[in-house]
Structure 1
Amino acid sequence: MSDLTGSDRRKLEKLLGMGSGYVLNFSDRTFGNFFDEYRVEIDAERYRAGGTSKANRMRTFWNLDANHTVGRVIGGLIEYASDEQCFGDSNPVLIDDCRKIAQRLLSDQPVAELEALSAIADEKDFEVVAEHVREAIEKNQPEGALDRLHTFAHKFIRVICEPHGVAISRDKALHSIFGEYVKALRDAGHLESAMTERILKSSISVLETFNEVRNHKSLAHDNPILNYEESLLIFNHVAASIRFIKALEVKINAKVVAKISNWESDDIPF
């Protein structure tokens, strides 16, 4: 449920022209198409509890969905209306106030490093599982996607390990592969502090216990799933680790490119 205040709702309803049951210039079809872009099925029965008009479904959406999702949709509606010139003579102060409402809601992101959970290889299944993981967080349902987060982590670690010469096989556990990756980073001098190495090593045991969560506390099997708070903690830990590793790999690749450029420069006769 979003935490829109009464004042927020009045401003949004005025800006979006919801007084007569409409929302901007949308038809039922284009209204549904717009929400599809944000992975919200606005035509679903759950959004018709307060009435079937577009305005009533919008109000029910505000009541049911999480801040971040509502903020994304409001921001998108404002941009759409600006592009379509729907606002007419609307007060610029009102438009700005509604943009600020969207920004405030967007700041309430349950997983701070969500953008890190994106595919890093051109593989269809990698992209699909990454999309499912982000969608679960945008809907504030981390407990329902722990199995997919585990799959994502497995694919991510496999991809990042290959350039470092870490052998990968079906029989090797995820935490063992990651342990070899951390050792490769240390041996190559890519880690600048002992504390960073220690933090990464702690992730080895985290990944080992993640296997248990995936097998016994997720939707991978017919299990009672883990509670919301602990699921969110797992998501945040994994996402933060992946964000750091992505940034580190960018630095490593930049060093490799610089070395190659230097070698090529040295070969140029003068």
Structure 2
Amino acid sequence: MAEISALERRKLEMLLGMGEGYVLNFSDRTYAEFFLDFRVDIDSAQFRVGGDSKAKRMRTFWDIGQNHTVGKVLEGLIAYGHQFKLLRNSNSSLEDDCRKIAQRLLSNQPVADLEALTAIADERDFEVVAQHVREAIEKNEPEGALDRLHTFVNKFIRVTCEPHGITVSRDKPLHSVFGEYVKALRGSGHLESAMTERILRSSISVLEAFNDVRNNKSLAHDNPILNYDESLLIFNHVASSIRFIKAVEARIKTKTSVQKAEDPFWDESIPF
């Protein structure tokens, strides 16, 4: 359930013109199309338990939707209404208050570094699996996407390690590949503290254990899936690690570009 107080609901209903069952200027068709942009099927039965009008379905969406998803939809509605001058009873104070409600909901998502879970190579299957992973979190269903998260991590580490001259193959375990990557970072001076190296090395055993979760506690096979809280812990650990690795790689890329610019004899065959 989205955390919206009774007073906040009244403000949102006033701004969106929900008093007579409508929402802004949407028809049933355009209303459904708007929500599909946020991967929400507002026409489904779960949103009609309180009634079929657009306003009643919106209220039910607030009742059962997750904070982050509701925040994204509200942000989109306010932007749409503002652009086409559709906001009712609109004044700067009411509109600002409603924007703040949307922003507060947006900031509350179960995986803090969710935006890090994006593809880093122009591969269709990489993009698809990354999208499925993010959708699962936006719906607050991490336990149902552990197998896809495992696939995403495999692709991410492969794409990250290959430019560093690390051999990647189907027969080589993921944790072994990552161990070589950490060793390469340390050997090239890209890690400034022993603690950072230790944290990354702990991820090697975590990745090894992830294989068991994927094979025996996810939807990859006919398994009883892992509970919500442990699934969420795995998602947060993976997303945090990937965010850090992306930052390190960006720093390496910048350093390499500077070196190439300063040294006309720079050898691009050197991985660092």
- Whether TM-score is above 0.5 comes out as yes
Structure 2 unaligned residues grouped into runs of 5+? 267-272
Q: Structure 1 residues 265, 214: CA separation in 2 closer, same or farther (over 3 Å shift)?
A: closer
Q: In the alignment, what sits opposite 1:85?
A: 85
Q: How far does the alpha carbon of each residue in 1:152-193 deviate from its partner, in whole angstroms, 9 at most, with x for none? A: 000000000001111011111111111111111111111111
Q: Distance in 2 between matches of 1:47 and 1:212?
A: 37
Q: In the alignment, what sits opposite 2:228?
A: 228
- Aligned residues of 2:32 and 2:42 also touching (Cα < 8 A): yes
Q: CA RMSD in A?
A: 1.2
Q: Return the offset for 1:91.
A: 2.3
Q: In the alignment, what sits opposite 2:61?
A: 61
Q: Distance in 2 between matches of 1:181 and 1:263?
A: 26
Q: Normalized against structure 1, the TM-score is what?
A: 0.96
- Aligned residues of 2:68 and 2:107 also touching (Cα < 8 A): yes
Q: How far does the alpha carbon of each residue in 1:84-122 deviate from its partner, in whole angstroms, 9 at most, with x for none? A: 110265222111111111111111111000000000000
1:237 aligns with 2:237: yes
How is 1:153-232 mapped onto 2 (pairs within 5 angstroms)? 153-232=153-232
Q: In the alignment, what sits opposite 1:115?
A: 115
- Aligned residues of 2:117 and 2:134 also touching (Cα < 8 A): yes
Letter in 1 for 2:165: G
Q: How far does the alpha carbon of each residue in 1:194-214 deviate from its partner, in whole angstroms, 9 at most, with x for none? A: 111100000000000000001
Q: Distance in 1 between matches of 2:154 and 2:141?
A: 21
The alignment covers a number of residue pairs equal to 266
How is 1:1-150 mapped onto 2 (pairs within 5 angstroms)? 1-87=1-87, 90-150=90-150
Q: In the alignment, what sits opposite 1:263?
A: 263
Q: Distance in 1 between matches of 2:188 and 2:139?
A: 40
Letter in 2 for 1:167: T
> After the TM superposition, which parts of structure 1 deviate over 6 Å for at least 4 consecutive aligned residues?
none
Q: In the alignment, what sits opposite 2:269?
A: none
Q: Distance in 2 between matches of 1:265 and 1:100?
A: 54
Q: Return the offset for 1:264.
A: 2.7
Letter in 1 for 2:134: R
Q: Return the offset for 1:265.
A: 9.2
Q: Normalized against structure 2, the TM-score is what?
A: 0.96
